[in-house]
Structure 1
């Protein structure tokens, strides 16, 4: 007695690997989208939303782009705190 249709379920090891990849991707995607929204970076938000790179692009954004923005802001704040220089009012960019 033969069956006319094949079993389309992947083996248990492959199912576990798929579940792990989905969980890994969702974790990176969630954190990177949250950070891009927090940074008010619309181009990065859209890029991260529509791409699926198993967390690679998300990690690049979190540790490369967003991290450098945060470090720059922290270092400026620490310099202002140490020097006691008041915030420049009326100037949005330095010359």
Structure 2
């Protein structure tokens, strides 16, 4: 009869899966926290720091909420509307 407190050694596949999920989560969390800090959004920073959603909430913040990303996309669109000046006008 096995005791419920007995521990067995994890399989290599389990270790690999946990390591992959940890790396995935850490990458998303790092980028989302960087965006929240850059946006000076303290509430989002705390929520992202304390939550563990395997990167889902972090990705949502980066692509939908982050002001810096939105501004960068708007600047890119605005730059595309105006042709680049290729020569200067002499007085």
TM, length-normalised to structure 1: 0.66
Aligned-pair Cα RMSD in Å: 2.4
Cα distance between partner residues in 1 of 2:15 and 2:65:
34
Distance in 2, Cα, partners of 1:17 & 1:23: 10
- Aligned positions, number: 75
**1:27: Cα distance to partner?**
0.6
Whole-angstrom distance in 1 between the partners of 2:37 and 2:63: 15
**How far 1:9 moved relative to its partner?**
1.9
1:45-70 deviation line (CA, Å, top 9, x unaligned): 00000000000000000011113354
1:41 and 1:70 mapped to 2: Cα distance? Answer: 17
More contact order relative to length (CA 8 Å, sep ≥ 6): 2
Corresponding residue SS for 1:71: helix
Gaps of 5+ in 1: 83-95
SS in structure 2 at match of 1:61? helix
Structure 1 residue matching 2:54: 3-state secondary structure: coil
Structure 1 residue runs of 4 or more that deviate by more than 3 Å after TM superposition: 4-7, 69-72
Q: CA deviation at 1:8?
A: 2.1
Q: By how many angstroms is 1:71 displaced?
A: 3.4
